[in-house]
């Protein structure tokens, strides 16, 4: 999924560029619009359902996020409710849960990044190294497959394997003479379970992008290095890695940019009252406060804070990446 | 003769000792990865085909012990599961049709370079990936539209994914050359005719990619159902599975009560069967559709 975003960023880039060009030729601006509309009214017409979708389900929610600054009441609606200023933001920042949420969210993301980012690269390089054949295709097929397992099933599998009573992990521990461990009941275990089950599920999928990038490297480079007597490790270090570096940088930017957006679905399912100390993250907190406790304004404020921080992170990381490396390294 | 022999030997430079050791470790690594990915799946499938007593006693660790189909008999008679399956099927088929239609109708015009305003619209669509109103405001919109606790709540609010619009647009840009549009226009073909008779026949690959991606996310999703649906008879399979597997709650009325009460063992076995039953449709299809996903991913990752 992440790789698609790189495309998204470049759309952003081209759209911004386009606007700049458009303002320079202001005179033909209106004329061009009219002419285009008259010629292609059918194309504009078929876009209407899709545009309405984005208006209703993306842009209206964006504007009604204003309830973060209001005392929202169902009766008065989004725009009729009285203003509350930064009350809910202050409430959130001064709440002791704030630091726990930030710590858990950042902790899970950083752990995922440190472990989950290099493994697909290593996997892709290894797969690229071996001969084409059944083993290679089979390994790719098998490692890619967990991507298609739903979050519910993945979490269920994790729980079954780690179950203190039935789980095969604990049966193994018992066979070694250890006491069974209730892994999901120990807060310190939660980040590991979250991250490694994610590695299990997504590494094969993420490796596909790197494999494609590796396949795009000119084979002559590898051959030349080989003839010059380079060992396989040297070829990987000096040909393969530089060749896929642009892809690595882009994916790294995207990952760092979404540090504060840990996915709701899996964390929520893995959560239980025993591990809540490390498993409560911003998105699960928003869900509980907002929909279970019906505190809409407060939950929206927390969510808005999260969205804004994410956007700032992404923009910052992107510009840093552009400054420290070649001009083409960034997303836009 | 001499030269071809030289060429061949160039292609086959003998691996040095170091390289052979390195390759050994690469194969070793890949085999370990393979086993780590496969083992949990094999274990759960084996347990699901074992005798309930063997499962509870922890005798299963690799292959089925005392092969039995008892678990599946009970699973497939469970009305909750059947309802979930039927619902998931409705959401997956209905949702994919709606999503693909809307995405293609939006993405094709946006791919046209001669359409005024397309880039601004594209920017606005892309922006939704960067920033969103959040969970609660979206929920309020769905609520105001009266979709809560109706099937529409799973079909419409997530109908279009911005990523898929970008993928489809990139595809149309590369697959349908501008010259084709010009030629058709010269021949007096209007935009809708062009869409029907030129674009549509050329876009089967992208339709397959989009349909599969939407279908898998519909089939695997539970979050929207958790948010928007309350009635048990509307719930998709994943939510039913969550209730049974993760929350450990069973609707006592609809579950086979005697079997549940009498046999904790059977309840344990059921979990393994449910995991298999819940993931089989997608995993069975997967080897056949894998290439479409790889294709979709690669279209999406082209920068620029």
What is the residue-averaged pLDDT of chain A?
85
**Own/partner pairs for A214-217, CB < 8 Å, 24+ apart?**
A214/A124, A214/A125, A214/A128, A214/A240, A214/A243, A214/A244, A215/A128, A216/A243, A217/A243, A217/A244
Among A148, A142, A140, A147, smallest CA distance to A124 is for: A140
Q: Are A126 and B29 inside 8 Å of each other by CB?
A: yes
Domain A89-148+204-329 bears CATH identifier 1.10.3720.10? yes
Q: Which residue has the higher pLDDT, B250 or A145?
A: A145
Among B30, B40, B18, B284, smallest CA distance to A134 is for: B30
pLDDT tens, A21-45? 555 555 577 888 888 888 889 999 9
Banded model confidence at residue B209, pLDDT cuts 50, 70, 90: confident
pLDDT tens, A164-184? 877 888 888 888 888 888 888
- Taking the CA atoms of B228, A205, A12 and A109 in sequence, report the sign of the dihedral they define: positive
Identify the residue among A152, A212, A289 best suited for mutation to test binding to B, counting B beta carbons within 10 A and taking the highest.
Answer: A152
Question: Cα-flanking dihedrals φ and ψ of residue A259, to 5°?
Answer: -60, -35
pLDDT, residue B253, reads 46
pLDDT tens, A121-131? 999 999 999 98
Contact between B68 and B54 (Cβ < 8 Å):
no
Which of B27, B160, B271 is closest, CB to CB, to A130? B27
Question: Could you count the other beta carbons within 10 Å of the beta carbon of residue B303?
Answer: 15
Identify the residue among A149, A153, A154, A290 best suited for mutation to test binding to B, counting B beta carbons within 10 A and taking the highest.
Answer: A153
DSSP characters for A205-264? HHHHHHHHHHHTS-HHHHHHHHHTT--HHHHIIIIIHHHHHHHHHHHHHHHHHTTT---H
Among the residue ranges A217-231, A314-328, B117-131, the one predicted with the least confidence is: A314-328
Q: Are A145 and B283 inside 8 Å of each other by CB?
A: yes
pLDDT, residue A39, reads 85
As a whole number of angstroms, the distance between CA B27 and CA B66 comes to 35
Contact between B218 and B92 (Cβ < 8 Å):
yes
Per DSSP, the three-state class of A83 is strand
CATH number of B79-255: 1.10.3720.10
Q: Are A160 and B163 inside 8 Å of each other by CB?
A: no
Q: Where are the domains of chain A?
A: 28-59, 89-148+204-329
Q: Where are the domains of chain B?
A: 2-69, 79-255
Q: What distance in Å separates residue A96's CA from the closest CA in chain B?
A: 22
Question: Is residue B6 pLDDT above 50, yes or no?
Answer: no
Q: Which residue has the higher pLDDT, A321 or B270?
A: B270
Q: How many residues does chain B have?
A: 304
Banded model confidence at residue B252, pLDDT cuts 50, 70, 90: very low
Which of B19, B137, B301 is closest, CB to CB, to A7? B301
Q: Are B37 and A200 inside 8 Å of each other by CB?
A: yes
Q: How many residues does chain A have?
A: 332
């Amino acid at each position: 999924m992440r790789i698609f975003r790189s495309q998204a960023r470049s759309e952003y880039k081209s759209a911004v560029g386009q606007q700049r060009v458009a303002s320079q030729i202001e005179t033909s601006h209106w004329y061009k619009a009219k002419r285009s509309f008259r010629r292609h009214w059918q194309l504009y017409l078929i876009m209407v359902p899709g545009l309405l979708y984005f208006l209703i389900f993306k842009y209206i929610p964006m504007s009604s996020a204003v309830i973060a600054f209001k005392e929202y009441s169902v009766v008065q609606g989004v725009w009729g409710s009285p203003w509350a200023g930064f009350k809910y933001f202050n409430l959130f920042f001064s709440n002791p849960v704030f630091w726990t949420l930030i710590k858990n969210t950042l902790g899970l993301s950083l752990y995922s990044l440190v472990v989950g980012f290099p493994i697909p690269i290593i996997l892709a390089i290894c797969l690229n190294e071996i001969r084409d054949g059944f083993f290679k295709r089979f390994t790719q097929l098998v490692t890619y497959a967990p991507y298609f397992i739903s979050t519910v099933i993945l979490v269920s599998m994790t729980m079954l394997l780690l179950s203190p009573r039935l789980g095969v992990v604990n049966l193994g521990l018992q066979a070694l003479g250890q006491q069974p461990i209730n892994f999901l009941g120990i807060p310190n275990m939660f980040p590991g379970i979250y991250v490694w089950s994610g590695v299990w599920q997504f590494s094969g999928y993420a490796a596909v992008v790197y494999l494609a990038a590796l396949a795009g490297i000119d084979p002559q480079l590898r051959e030349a290095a080989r003839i010059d007597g380079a060992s396989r490790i040297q070829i990987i270090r000096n040909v393969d890695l530089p060749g896929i570096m642009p892809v690595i940088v882009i994916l790294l930017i995207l990952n760092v940019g979404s540090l504060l957006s840990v996915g709701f679905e899996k964390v929520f399912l893995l959560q239980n009252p025993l591990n809540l100390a490390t498993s409560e993250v911003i998105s699960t907190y928003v869900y509980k406060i907002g929909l279970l406790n019906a505190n809409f304004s407060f939950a929206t404020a927390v969510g808005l804070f999260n969205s804004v921080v994410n956007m700032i992170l992404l923009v910052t990381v992107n510009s840093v990446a552009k400054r420290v490396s070649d001009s083409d390294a960034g997303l836009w | 003769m001499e030269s071809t022999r030289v060429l061949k030997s160039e292609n086959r430079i003998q691996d040095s000792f170091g390289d052979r050791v390195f390759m050994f470790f690469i194969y070793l690594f890949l085999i370990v990865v393979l086993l780590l990915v496969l083992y949990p799946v094999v274990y759960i499938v084996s347990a699901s085909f074992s005798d309930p007593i063997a499962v509870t006693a922890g005798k299963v660790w690799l292959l089925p012990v005392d092969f039995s189909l008892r678990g599946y008999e009970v699973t497939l008679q469970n009305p909750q599961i059947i309802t979930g399956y039927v619902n998931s099927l409705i959401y997956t088929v209905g949702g994919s049709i709606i999503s693909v239609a809307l995405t293609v109708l939006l993405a094709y015009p946006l791919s046209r370079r001669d359409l005024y305003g397309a880039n601004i619209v594209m920017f606005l669509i892309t922006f939704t990936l960067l920033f969103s109103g959040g969970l609660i405001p979206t929920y309020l919109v769905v609520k105001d539209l009266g979709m809560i606790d109706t099937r529409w709540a799973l079909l419409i609010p997530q109908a279009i994914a911005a990523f898929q619009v970008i993928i489809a647009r990139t595809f149309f840009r590369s697959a349908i050359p501008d010259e084709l549009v010009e030629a058709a226009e010269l021949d007096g073909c209007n935009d809708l005719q062009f869409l029907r008779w030129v674009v549509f026949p050329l876009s089967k690959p992208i339709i397959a990619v989009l349909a599969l991606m939407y279908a898998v996310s519909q089939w695997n999703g539970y979050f929207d159902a958790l948010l928007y649906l309350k009635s048990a008879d509307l719930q998709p399979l994943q939510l039913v599975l969550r209730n049974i597997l993760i929350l450990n709650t069973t609707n006592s009325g609809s579950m086979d009560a005697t079997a549940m009460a009498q046999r904790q063992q059977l309840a344990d076995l059921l979990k393994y069967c449910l995991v298999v039953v819940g993931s089989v449709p997608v995993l069975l299809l997967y080897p056949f559709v894998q290439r479409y996903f790889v294709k979709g991913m690669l279209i999406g990752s082209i920068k620029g």
